[in-house]
């Protein structure tokens, strides 16, 4: 059929225009189905990011409310010092318990006013090492006078750490209970600095700040130290100064026995029994104090696999406590500010599954939005980026400035890797968070420590290292996916997103490769030394 130019125009209008419109409509609907969840996730992450800014604001705004170790509201007379029970929960910790026990036996406190309980749930050589060590300290053959130390060993591990602490309480004499994990080394004056704050009747718990024995062991431990410093300076500092709830960290703190009992005692239905008890005690009206100027050094995990295990346990435990406690918190008669802060604290790890969703939608969203100009994308994305991502860097910069006013600027060198490490934990922590949300129970996974403080020392890492599983390979694959998004961003001249995307590439590749290389090193080392140890169950 011959179609004239006029007829062709009519044919286009009647046959193609409507078809193009229908396709455009379907395409727009598809766009919306991807962009709505994409921006919703970005918005939620931005709210959690803005909360970090709020913690910094609370920290400085309420500076006058900071508690100091040398300024307790009241003090005990020397002959009225309360009896203190020091609990040391351990599980397969043969490399660090000597250091811990020696430090606790050197605490400056009247010997007739405290006792030390070594609560041992171990299943390996630690049992014989620990029992023999306690006997030596009790007999006074360790270069010290005979010490009031007691060894309690369980064989069933019921309740894990919470169960061990509860078991120890049954035979304890202390009005106050101090707790130290195996890798901590309390300084001699720690008890003296803390105990007088309990002369104030309403104080139920005093937490002190963790410092780091092996901060300079490796690049990884330096980044870990900055992460923990941010938690202890700005989260604990900001919350305690503002008078909202904050948590006992499981170690380097002291409880009033009455507060533990009135809150219902230690419960083991979550992996963060310390946070669980903290919220129950504060809902009962007990006051918590945080002493930022009292330091208690500890050992940081020296391996990526150990660090992942620690972070996953904390992530899962906080979500478990949120499920358990938030309904009661929201129904209680505490202030709205306290309720809101508890919500942010206990739900913060939901950001990890959201990061997975963001990772999946990022490339499609970039393709769909390719019609936008750079300025339009900048105006939309920059505020969300500043809220969700830049808040992380400013948060940790401020904490380092507070602790190290003369050298804090060096933290700028670590910021990209710090942010990337947070991204790299997404897979591990998402798995942990989803287990918590679905009610999947897992055993308490300890973080292995080896008393290694500097390069060149003999590491016992192969003794307690967990198998790698599939997680590192998933991390490498996702890193490759983000490498493709970097390539796409460059080819479409979307240059301002490249630094953001590179954080994802660096984070996933760093955590994945470091996990795999440590495992390979272990296997080669074991083969070379002729060691044939029974492998431990697969971990995260």
- Kindly report, residue by residue over 445-502, the tens digit of the pLDDT: 777 777 765 665 555 556 666 666 788 999 999 999 999 999 988 888 777 778 888 9
- pLDDT tens, residue by residue, 98-109: 999 999 999 999
Residue 459, pLDDT score: 56
Q: Is residue 276 among the annotated active site residues?
A: no
Could you tell me which residues come within 8 angstroms of residue 500 by beta carbon, excluding any fewer than 6 positions away?
385, 389
Is residue 1 over pLDDT 70? no
Residue 207, pLDDT score: 98
Domains and CATH numbers, the chain: 30-61+304-447+466-540 (no CATH), 75-303 (3.90.550.10)
Sheet holding 203-212, edge to edge: 149-153, 114-120, 84-90, 176-179, 253-256, 203-212, 287-298
Is residue 154 over pLDDT 80? yes
Q: Which of 121, 181, 183, 276 is catalytic?
A: 121
- pLDDT tens, residue by residue, 238-249: 999 999 999 999
Residue 489, pLDDT score: 85
Residue 377, pLDDT score: 59
Q: Which residues pair with 89 in a beta bridge?
A: 119
Q: Sign of the C-alpha dihedral, residues 516, 518, 519, 525?
A: positive
Q: Which of 120, 229, 274, 276 is catalytic?
A: 274
**In this predicted model, which residue has the larger pLDDT, 377 or 17?**
377
Average pLDDT over residues 385-414: 87
From 468, 471, 475, 467, select the one nearest 424 (Cα to Cα). 475
- pLDDT tens, residue by residue, 211-256: 999 999 889 999 999 999 999 999 999 999 999 999 999 999 999 9
Q: Is 112 helix (H, G, I), strand (E, B) or coil?
A: helix
Q: State the pTM of this model.
A: 0.87
Q: Is residue 121 among the annotated active site residues?
A: yes
Is residue 23 over pLDDT 60? no
Is residue 10 over pLDDT 60? no
What's the chain's average pLDDT?
86
């Amino acid at each position: 059929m011959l179609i004239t130019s006029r007829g062709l125009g009519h044919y286009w209008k009647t046959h193609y225009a409507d078809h193009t419109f229908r396709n455009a409509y379907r395409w727009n609907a598809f766009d919306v189905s991807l962009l709505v969840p994409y921006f919703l996730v970005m918005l939620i992450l931005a709210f959690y990011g803005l909360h970090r800014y709020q913690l910094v604001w609370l920290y400085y705004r309420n500076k006058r409310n900071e508690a100091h170790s040398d300024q307790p509201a009241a003090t005990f007379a020397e002959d009225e010092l309360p009896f203190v029970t020091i609990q040391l929960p351990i599980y397969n910790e043969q490399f660090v318990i000597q250091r811990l026990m020696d430090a606790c036996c050197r605490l400056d406190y009247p010997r007739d006013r405290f006792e030390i309980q070594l609560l041992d749930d171990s299943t390996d050589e630690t049992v014989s090492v620990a029992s023999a060590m306690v006997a030596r300290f009790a007999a006074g053959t360790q270069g010290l006078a005979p010490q009031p130390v007691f060894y309690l060993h369980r064989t069933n591990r019921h309740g894990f750490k919470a169960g061990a602490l509860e078991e120890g309480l049954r035979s304890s004499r202390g009005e106050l209970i101090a707790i130290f994990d195996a890798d901590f080394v309390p300084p001699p004056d720690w008890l003296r600095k803390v105990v007088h704050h309990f002369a104030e009747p309403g104080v139920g718990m005093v937490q002190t700040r963790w410092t780091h024995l092996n901060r300079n062991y490796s690049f990884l431990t330096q980044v870990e130290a900055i992460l923990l410093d941010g938690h202890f300076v700005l989260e604990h500092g900001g919350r305690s100064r503002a008078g909202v709830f904050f948590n006992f960290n499981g170690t380097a703190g002291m409880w009033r026995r009455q507060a533990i009992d009135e809150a219902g005692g230690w419960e083991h239905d979550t992996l963060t029994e310390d946070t669980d008890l903290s919220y129950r005690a504060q809902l009962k009206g007990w006051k918590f104090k945080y002493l930022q100027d009292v330091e208690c050094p500890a050992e940081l995990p020296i391996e990526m696999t150990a660090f992942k295990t620690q972070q996953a346990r904390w992530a899962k435990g906080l979500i478990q406590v949120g499920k358990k406690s938030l309904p009661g918190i929201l129904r209680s008669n505490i202030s709205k500010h306290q309720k809101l802060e508890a919500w942010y604290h206990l739900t913060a790890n939901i950001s990890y599954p959201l990061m997975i969703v963001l990772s999946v939608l990022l490339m499609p969203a970039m393709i769909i939005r390719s019609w936008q100009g750079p300025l339009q994308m900048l105006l939309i994305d920059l505020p969300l980026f500043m809220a969700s991502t830049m808040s992380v860097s400013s948060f940790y910069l401020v904490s380092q400035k507070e602790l190290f006013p003369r050298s804090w600027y060096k933290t700028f060198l670590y910021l990209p890797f710090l942010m990337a490490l947070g991204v790299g934990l997404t897979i591990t922590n998402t798995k942990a968070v989803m287990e918590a949300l679905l009610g999947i129970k897992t055993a308490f996974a300890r973080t292995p420590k080896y008393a290694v403080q500097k390069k060149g020392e003999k590491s016992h890492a192969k003794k307690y290292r967990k198998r790698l599983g599939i997680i590192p390979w998933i991390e490498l694959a996702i890193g490759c996916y983000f490498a493709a998004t970097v390539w796409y961003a460059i080819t479409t001249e979307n240059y301002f997103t490249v630094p953001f995307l590179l954080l994802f590439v660096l984070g996933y590749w760093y955590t994945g490769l470091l996990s795999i290389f440590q495992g390979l090193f272990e296997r080669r080392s074991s083969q070379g030394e002729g060691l044939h140890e029974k492998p431990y169950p697969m971990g995260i």
